[in-house]
Structure 1
Amino acid sequence: MPLYKTITVNPNTKVFIWKIEESFEALSDGILLTENCNNRVNNMKSDLHRRGFMSIRHLMALEGFTDLDLYYDENGKPHLTGDKHISITHSFNFAAIIISDAEVGIDIEMQRNKILRIAHKFTPIEEYRTMANDDALMRKLTIVWCAKESLYKSFAEKGVSFLENIYVEDFRLDDSETTAIVTYEEKQQKYNVDFLEFEEFTCAYALISEKQ
C-alpha cells in the first residue's frame, strides 16, 4: 500500500498523501462505492483520474471513513458525515486528503514551467521578480498557487478571485509555512498555510488561524 506520507498537523488534523502506483483494479479491491460515485468513476476517460479517485477512498479508510460517509454540497465542496471536515486533491500520480475538526483545504500540483505564463492571473507577479532564476520562481509560484487553491477550497464562496481576494504573505523557499488572508464581500478570514515539496510536486494545506 503506497501511503507516501502522513502528517499530524495537530491533535485534531491529519494529512495523508498517496503515491498512485497500483492499477485501477487493485485499488478497487475492498472499496465500496455509492451508486453515484460508481457511475462517476466509470464515466472517467482518464485511467489516472480513476486511480486517483480510488486512492482517495483508501486514504479516507485510514481514518475509518468510507465512500458512504462522503458527500458534496451545491458548490462541489466535499463533506463528511459527523463533525469532521475534509478536503481532497489529486495531481498526476499523487493524491491527498486533510481531515480535521475545523474547516481545511489542501492542494497538490506538479511543478511545471507553464505556471510562469499564467502567474499574472493569480498573483501580483512583480512581487517575485527578485527570484534568482526561473526554476526558483517556478517553485515559489507553485507554492503560491497551491496555497491559494487550498484557501479557496476552505473558504468555499463562489466568486472569490485568486488575484483580488486571496493574499498570501511572502515567504522563503526554505520555509515550510506562511500566513494568508481571504477577503470577500463582508467576510475576512485569516489562515495558516503549511507547504512541502517532494518528487517535483508541491503540496499546501490551509487551516483557519486562531489569531483573527
Structure 2
Amino acid sequence: MPFYKAISINESTTAYFWKISEDVTDLFRAVSLKDVTLFRYEGMKSESHQKGFLAVRMLLQHLGYTDYDLSYDEQGKPHLNDGKHISISHSHEFSCICISDSLMGIDLEKCKDKILRIAPRFLEMKHLENLSDTEKIQKATVIWGVKESIFKIKNEVGISFPEHIFENEFDVAAGNCSAELHFNNQIEKFTIQFYNIEEYIFVCAFPK
C-alpha cells in the first residue's frame, strides 16, 4: 500500500504522505469523487497532476474522510467539513495532506538544481553564502517552502515572495526557523518546521 508515512508535527498536527506508485487509472478507480471534483480532474492536462490530485483523495480515504468531506472557498483554500484545518501539497511522486486543530500551511518540494537559477528572484542570496552546492539547493528549497506555506495560510492577492515574506537566518540542520509577512501595513510572524522526505523538503508553517 503506497501510504508512505505520517509525521506528528505537534500534539494536534499530523502530516500524511502518499508515495504514488499506481497508474492514474488505478487511482481513479479507487476514489469516490463528487461532481465538482470530477469536473476539475477532467480539466487537468498533466497526468502527473492528475495522480497527485487523486493521491490526495487516497490520503483522505486512508484517514476516514472522503472527497465529499473536502471543499474549497472562493480563494481556492481547502476546508474539511468537521472544522479541522487542512493544507495540501504534492510534488512528483508524493502527495501530502496536513490536518490540524490550528491554522497552518504546508509545502512539499523536490530538491532540484534549477532552484539555484531562480533563487535570486525569491530569496536574499546572503542565506546561501559559504554553503556547498548541495546545501544551497536544500536551503533554497526550504526557503521556497517557507514562503509557499505562509502564502497558503494568508491566501491574499498581491503577496509577493521577495517583497513581503522574509525568512530569518537559520541552519538547515536545525529543522526549524521563523519568518515574517510584511503586508498591508502589518507584520505577522510565523514559526516553521521542516523535514527531509527522501529527496524532498516538507515545510509546515504556523502563525505565531
TM-score normalised by L of structure 2:
0.93
Task: Report Cα offsets for 1:81-118 as digits up to 9, x if no partner.
Answer: 23211111011111101111121111111111111111
| Equivalent residue number for residue 73 of structure 1 | 73
CA deviations over 1:155-207 (Å, ceiling 9, x no partner): 22211111121111222121111111212113332221111123221111112
Contact 1:181 1:191 in 2 (8 A): yes
1:106 match: secondary structure: strand
1:6 CA displacement: 0.2
Instruction: Give the equivalent residue in structure 1 for 2:33.
Output: 33
Partner SS state of residue 113, structure 1: coil
Q: Shift of residue 61 of structure 1? A: 2.3
Give the letter for the 1:104 counterpart. Answer: M
Cα deviation, residue 152, structure 1: 0.8
Gaps of 5+ in 2: none
Q: Does 1:127 align with 2:135?
A: no
**Aligned pairs for 1:21-100 within 5 A:** 21-100=21-100
Q: Is residue 17–residue 95 contact of structure 2 (8 Å, CA) maintained in 1?
A: yes
Question: Is 1:16 the counterpart of 2:29 in the alignment?
Answer: no
Between 1:87-96 and 1:64-73, the stretch displaced more is 64-73
The answer to whether structure 1 residue 207 and structure 2 residue 206 are counterparts is yes
Distance 2:125 2:149 in 1: 19
Residue of structure 2 equivalent to 1:103: 103
Over residues 96-143 of structure 1, what are the superposed CA-to-partner deviations in whole Å (9 max), with x where a residue is unaligned?
011111211111111111111111111111332222x22211111011
**Would the aligned equivalents of 1:71 and 1:79 in 2 still touch at CA under 8 Å?**
yes
Moved more, 26-35 or 91-100: 26-35
Secondary structure in structure 2 of the residue aligned to 1:87: strand
Partner SS for 1:182: strand
Partner in structure 1 of residue 172 of structure 2 = 173
SS of residue in 1 equivalent to 2:36: helix
Deviation at 1:4, TM superposition (A): 1.4
> In the alignment, what sits opposite 1:186?
185
Amino acid at match of 1:20: I
Q: Secondary structure at the match of 1:159?
A: coil
Aligned partners of 1:56 and 1:97 also within 8 Å: yes
Deviation per CA, 1:56-76, whole angstroms, max 9, x where unpaired? 011122333211121212221
Q: Is the 8 A contact 2:30 2:58 kept in 1?
A: no
How many residue pairs get matched?
208
Report the residue type matching 2:62 in the other structure: L
TM-score relative to the length of structure 1: 0.92
Question: Does the CA contact (< 8 Å) of 2:32 and 2:67 recur in 1?
Answer: yes
